[in-house]
Amino acid sequence: MKHIPIIGFFLIITIGCYFNASITNEESEKEKGEEITEQLYSYIIDKKYDNSIKSLLSKELLLNVPINRFDSTLFILNEKLGNYRERELIEWSTKRQKGNNEFWKCLLQYKVKYDKGESIELIHLIKENDSIKILSYNLEGEE
């Protein structure tokens, strides 16, 4: 009978624990991020700057950078570096966590060629309400 309280105590402790599993650098998760990145670069190529990219941007990004300013930044990028030509993925990482504290993130770093120069561009993506969104878009340009 002494084993029953010990087993009961163990069950209570186990049930109350949080279980999370982290998975990193999955090719399939990178591909999901690249799908969103492809839409971003299509927007850059089209040069419409009509706010239609807003659905790809996270709430946090839009709080810090209103959509009009984001579009203005892309316009200035085009003025300084010229038309987009091509990009090469040079580094990437993904991390997703399953369990009580689920999250998903993907970092994609590209070397991007424009008519007037090149840049290194880092795109940070997250999952927001089961949709992948751009959290940040950073670039270092060379003319």
Predicted confidence band of residue 4 (pLDDT cuts 50, 70, 90): low
Q: Which residue has the higher pLDDT, 68 or 13?
A: 68
8 A C-beta contact, residue 108 and residue 33: yes
Quote the tokens at residue 72. 């203005």
Does pLDDT of 83 surpass 60? yes
Q: Please, which contacts does 46-54 make with residues 24 or more away whose CB atoms are closer than 8 Å? A: 47/75, 47/78, 49/74, 49/75
Predicted confidence band of residue 45 (pLDDT cuts 50, 70, 90): very high
Which of 63-67, 74-78, 109-113, 139-143 bottoms out in mean pLDDT, i.e. has the lowest? 139-143
pLDDT of residue 5: 53
CATH number of 23-142: 3.10.450.100
β-sheet bridge partners, residue 138: 122
pLDDT of residue 11: 47
Q: How far apart are CA 105 and CA 133, in angstroms?
A: 10
Predicted TM-score (pTM) of this structure: 0.85
Provide the mean pLDDT of the chain.
89
User: What would the mean pLDDT of 23-27 be, rounded to a whole number?
Assistant: 95
pLDDT of residue 26: 96
Does pLDDT of 3 surpass 70? no
